[in-house]
Amino acid sequence: MESKEVMFVLADDNMLYVHDSSEVINGAYEGIDVENEEFKFFDKHGNPLIAMFDEPNQQGKIVGSLGWVGSGKYHLVPDKCSSRKSLIELMDSISGVEGNSYFRDLSEIHSFVSMNTE
């Protein structure tokens, strides 16, 4: 596989998703879910990424308990000061890989990330 901007997303149900850009990720994962840490993001090296919000999520009430949510805009940056685990460290907890055009299975992802470790 050529070295593209492959990025990985681990959902809270332990399914792993593969994307080829942060723009795709920003469009696929709502800001409110990202803010609630329902997803973990990783670069092609398996290093954790965190979301930095350029526009905050918005929430409000229409009437009574009926509310609304507006998704903020975010971008992903390396998480240099956290104790978050790398993708390699979380491999045993991953339940499956969503279909993608890059990898057939988790073992291919493990090999790719291992070869690209910084």
Query: For position 19, what pLDDT does the model report?
Result: 93
84 by DSSP, 3-state: which?
coil
Query: For position 76, what pLDDT does the model report?
Result: 94
Measured CA to CA, the distance from residue 32 to residue 6 in angstroms comes to 23
Each residue of 51-66: pLDDT tens digit?
999 998 888 888 878 8
Each residue of 63-105: pLDDT tens digit?
878 887 888 899 999 998 878 899 999 999 999 999 888 999 9
Whether the predicted pLDDT of 2 surpasses 80: no
The reported pTM is 0.86
